[in-house]
Amino acid sequence: MTMRSDMRVILRLPTRTLFDGRATALAAVAPNGAFGILPNHVDFVTAIVPSVLSLQLVHGTEAIFGLDEGLLVKKGHEVAVACLRGVRGDDLATLQDTVTASFVQTDEEERQARSALSRLEADMVRRFSELRGPRP
């Protein structure tokens, strides 16, 4: 593997790509604690817990993300992170509000979907029982 000063980082959600760009450092949290990755770090795979992931971008700025649980894979000079939910924040002070608003909305949508599915299942069971009808 060649020595590099940056790495490609891709953050993916189930429905879209949250970030795709170059970074010089990454900091995240795994089940066993916080860790950092530099461009020439050894390849590895780890789970990500709900936490803040920060990137030091190649032009000197920092990007921060509030992530739900997921998986991080470092291979060569590319880091891929796949997580269930995530948001990008402007700074740590406002990230908490952004995460709360986004995740609460998603939780409510999931609750409504589960409720609708339960009603459909109950209706299907009721209709099947009506099909059987009384036996002579």
pLDDT in tens, 16-42: 999 999 999 999 999 999 999 999 999
Supply 61's token pair: 């700025």
Looking at the domain 7-89, which fold is it?
Answer: ATP Synthase; domain 1 (2.60.15)
Supply 92's token pair: 């740590």
In the chain, what are the domain boundaries?
7-89
Residues whose CB is less than 8 angstroms from the CB of residue 58 and which lie 6 or more positions away in sequence, other chains included: 6, 21, 22, 23, 24
pTM of the model: 0.71
Q: What is the pLDDT of residues 93-102, one digit of tens each?
A: 776 666 666 6
Q: Which residue has the tokens 């609460």?
A: 104
Rounded Cα gap, residues 78 and 67, in angstroms: 19
pLDDT of residue 132: 73
pLDDT of residue 104: 66
CA distances from 95 to 16, 81, 99, 102 (A): 20, 19, 6, 10
Strands 7-12 and 78-83: parallel
Q: What is the pLDDT of residues 61-89, one digit of tens each?
A: 999 998 889 999 999 999 999 998 888 88
